[in-house]
């Protein structure tokens, strides 16, 4: 169970899942806007908003659904994920990630080696 917890919290699994969800929702917004644009603009600018069969409402619906979905994903996935990550993997004492500290150590060793 510990290995699975490390896999989920350390990897980019949650980031990738959030990106797929947001990307899919944004794709729906773009598709709806494109359909509205290609269907309405050839009729002329005066008929775009007065046409009874226009789909501008569908575009606004897609935008509102995207904003709601983004808020839900942020508050129900991203915030708990970051809190759990901070709880299970606290930041190091100096605030630097381990790979940066290792690279600085290598840099210092190389600097002393070249001065000899």
**Structural domain of 76:** 2-90
User: Residue 66 is encoded by which pair of tokens?
Assistant: 């995207």
pLDDT of 116 > 60? The answer is no
How far is it, in rounded angstroms, from Cα 98 to Cα 104?
10
Q: Is residue 115 part of a domain?
A: no
Q: Is residue 101 part of a domain?
A: no
pLDDT of residue 39: 76
Q: Is residue 106 part of a domain?
A: no
- What is the phi/psi pair of residue 89, to 5°? -130, 75
Q: Is residue 77 part of a domain?
A: yes
| Mean pLDDT across 55-61 | 81
Tens-digit pLDDT profile for residues 80-102: 988 888 887 776 445 677 888 89
pLDDT of 51 > 80? The answer is no
pLDDT of residue 37: 80
Tens-digit pLDDT profile for residues 8-43: 666 678 888 899 999 999 999 999 888 888 877 776
Q: Is residue 66 part of a domain?
A: yes
pLDDT of residue 2: 74
What's the domain count of the chain? Answer: 1
Q: Is residue 96 part of a domain?
A: no
pLDDT of 47 > 90? The answer is no
């Amino acid at each position: 169970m510990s290995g699975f917890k490390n896999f989920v919290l350390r990897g980019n699994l949650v980031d990738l899942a959030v990106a797929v969800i947001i990307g899919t929702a944004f794709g729906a917004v773009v598709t709806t806007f494109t359909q509205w644009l290609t269907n309405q603009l050839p009729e002329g600018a005066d008929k775009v908003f007065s046409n009874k069969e226009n789909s501008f409402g569908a575009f606004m619906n897609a935008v509102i659904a995207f904003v709601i979905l983004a808020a839900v994903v942020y508050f129900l996935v991203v915030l708990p994920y970051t809190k759990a990550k901070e709880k299970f993997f606290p930041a190091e004492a100096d605030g630097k990630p381990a790979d940066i500290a290792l690279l600085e150590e290598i840099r210092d060793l190389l600097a002393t080696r070249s001065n000899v």
